[in-house]
């Protein structure tokens, strides 16, 4: 079957660093997405990893290990506005038929 696991909720402190993990078991793998979703809003694109390794984009970085079926999203210098849900999604084939995780709700405390 298709399975994507993320922690349901995480709490971190403003200014700190947090790592949100995502493990997946899917029939086929073409890439992995991370999206951010603020309450009451649509998801917005953060990153797309196809190859193993770390990709950095400002305060956000995403890591992928295809052999381990594992990814993480690393958020640095946390700001209050980073409080949101973070969704991991696997693209099983080149037609972008995505399998979505349930999302990790990140709570940032002052």
Partner 1 sequence: GAGVSQSPSNKVTEKGKDVELRCDPISGHTALYWYRQSLGQGLEFLIYFQGNSAPDKSGLPSDRFSAERTGGSVSTLTIQRTQQEDSAVYLCASGEGGTIYFGEGSWLTVV
Closest to 29 in 3D by CA, of 68, 83, 86: 68
Nearer to partner 1, 44 or 65 (CB): 44
69 binds partner 1, rule: CB under 8 A: no
Among 48, 60, 66, 70, binds partner 1 (CB under 8 A): 48
Among 31, 34, 72, 108, binds partner 1 (CB under 8 A): 31
Return the HEC string of 52-93: CEEEEECCEEEEEECCCCEEEEEECCCCHHHCEEEEEEEECC
103 binds partner 1, rule: CB under 8 A: yes
Positions in the binding site for partner 1 (CB under 8 A): 31, 33, 41-45, 48, 50, 87, 89, 95-98, 100-103
């Amino acid at each position: 079957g298709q399975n994507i696991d993320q922690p349901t909720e995480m709490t971190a402190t403003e200014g700190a660093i947090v790592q949100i993990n995502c493990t997946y078991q899917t029939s086929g793998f073409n890439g992995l997405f991370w999206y951010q979703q603020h309450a009451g809003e649509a998801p917005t694109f953060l990153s797309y990893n196809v190859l193993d390794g770390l990709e950095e984009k400002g305060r956000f970085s995403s890591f992928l290990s295809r052999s381990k079926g594992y990814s993480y999203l690393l958020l640095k210098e946390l700001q209050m506005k980073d409080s949101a849900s973070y969704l991991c999604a696997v693209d099983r084939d080149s037609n972008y038929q995505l399998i979505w995780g349930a999302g990790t709700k990140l709570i940032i405390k002052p």
